Amino acid sequence: MSQEKRRAAQWIEQKAELWRETSRTIWENPELGHQEYRASALLSGILEEHGFQVERGTAGLETAFRAVYDSGKPGPHIAYLSEYDALPGLGHACGHNLIGVMSVAAAMSLAETLDQIGGTVTVFGTPAEETSGAKVTMAEQGYFEGIDAAMMAHPASVYERSGKSLAMEAIQFEFHGKTAHAASQPYLGVNALDAAIQTFNGINALRQQLRSDVRIHGIIKKGGEAANVVPDYSLIQFYVRTGSKSTLPDAVEKVKNCARGAAAATGCRLEISNYELGYDNLVTNEALSDLFTGNLVALGVAPEEIKHGLDHGSIDMGNVSQVVPAIHPYIKMPDSPYGGHTAEFCEAAGDERGQHALLMGAKALAWTGLDLLEQPLCLQDVREEFAKATGTAGKRGTAAK
């Protein structure tokens, strides 16, 4: 272990009470996506107090921020992604109260060494991962240009390498029909609920002809007001997911055709839209992932405890991984064998089990950043893998303004 790594770990431990208090405050005051005013102000304020240059309202998003510590010396540019949105009704049942603080702690500990070794560290405050993730908007607007590596870690029931996620599009279908008395004059109506149900039936029949990595799931948001009135309006929403963004458009078009067919069969007028931002699939940079995993082992995690990366649905970190080398590993909360988005997971994220994961994740993230700053060959491996995967030479420079 290098002297810088030892110092970084000690620095994180010394400020354990700050991390505990901050994550607990966010946990006790859950805020939904793009409404995280308190969490965003709290995290960005801590960074500002510790010498980071903070920009709020980044990418035109009120609760987003960018905090930069630039040593003024040449060196890699490391980014940590901070999430802090909660789930409706469940609060921080995905542990974003821990993720947000974990990334802040890692970045601040890294900043302690930058004046000596050079380089830049940035924390991106990224709202609304659970819905219309800010990372999508930031990636589209070029905020990750010039970043050498982007990292975050997620609490979980196990240790897990950064793996894959599914590309996703959120599609909404609105059917417009015509009301009529459902008993005396049903023939005068145009049934929008029938169109919604036929869409579901069409999609269910379609599944046999879809790739094995395609997943489609949806709900009926509106389907009528009274049983004796032919519904003139229905609203249904779907997530369509595939293993790669390259195969997503074909699956989406097939789903849309099911809705178009249902509209034609019932005589309804159809409107198609997206109700949330779509997410690209995560492309893990394995060279970067190896560094992080090695640091977990150096911190005392048995290698056999670290599972191979699994598919956890869709995350907006996927969009980041398409433009810069990135990882999204998982950190175990001890004595918490519960899946995310459950009340039990939320409870663990708010107590000492979550704090254990926060400290472990912050140290591993900080050490991985130090590997890139101190070992040019490690950074070269990360860059070369990304260039090969994307067919680019990899750009460096200053992050987009």
The C-alpha R_g of the chain, in whole angstroms, comes to 23
pLDDT score recorded for residue 393: 55
Q: Are 111 and 121 in contact (CB under 8 A)?
A: yes
Residues of the chain above pLDDT 70, percent: 98
Q: What is the pLDDT of residues 157-215, one digit of tens each?
A: 999 999 999 999 999 999 999 999 999 999 999 999 999 999 999 999 999 999 999 99
CA distance 302 to 298: 9
Please name the amino acid found at residue 211.
R
pLDDT averaged over the chain? Answer: 95
Indicate if the pLDDT at residue 394 is higher than 50: no
Indicate if the pLDDT at residue 397 is higher than 90: no
Residues of the chain above pLDDT 90, percent: 94
Residue 83 pLDDT level (bands cut at 50, 70, 90): very high
Q: What is the pLDDT of residues 115-166, one digit of tens each?
A: 999 999 999 999 999 999 999 999 999 999 999 999 999 999 999 999 999 9
Where does residue 280 fall: left (phi above 0), alpha (psi -120 to 50 degrees), or beta otherwise?
Answer: beta
pLDDT score recorded for residue 401: 34
Indicate if the pLDDT at residue 231 is higher than 70: yes
pLDDT score recorded for residue 2: 85
- The stretch 39-59 carries a mean pLDDT of 98
Q: Tell me the H-state helices in 182-227.
A: 192-206
Please name the amino acid found at residue 129.
E
- The stretch 38-67 carries a mean pLDDT of 98
For residue 39, what are its two tokens? 């969490």
Please name the amino acid found at residue 6.
R
Indicate if the pLDDT at residue 400 is higher than 50: no
pLDDT score recorded for residue 81: 98
pLDDT score recorded for residue 19: 98
Q: What is the pLDDT of residues 243-268, one digit of tens each?
A: 999 999 999 999 999 999 999 999 99
pLDDT score recorded for residue 283: 95
pLDDT score recorded for residue 315: 94
DSSP strands (E only) in 224-320: 233-242, 269-274, 306-307
Indicate if the pLDDT at residue 11 is higher than 90: yes
Residues facing 279 on adjacent strands: 168
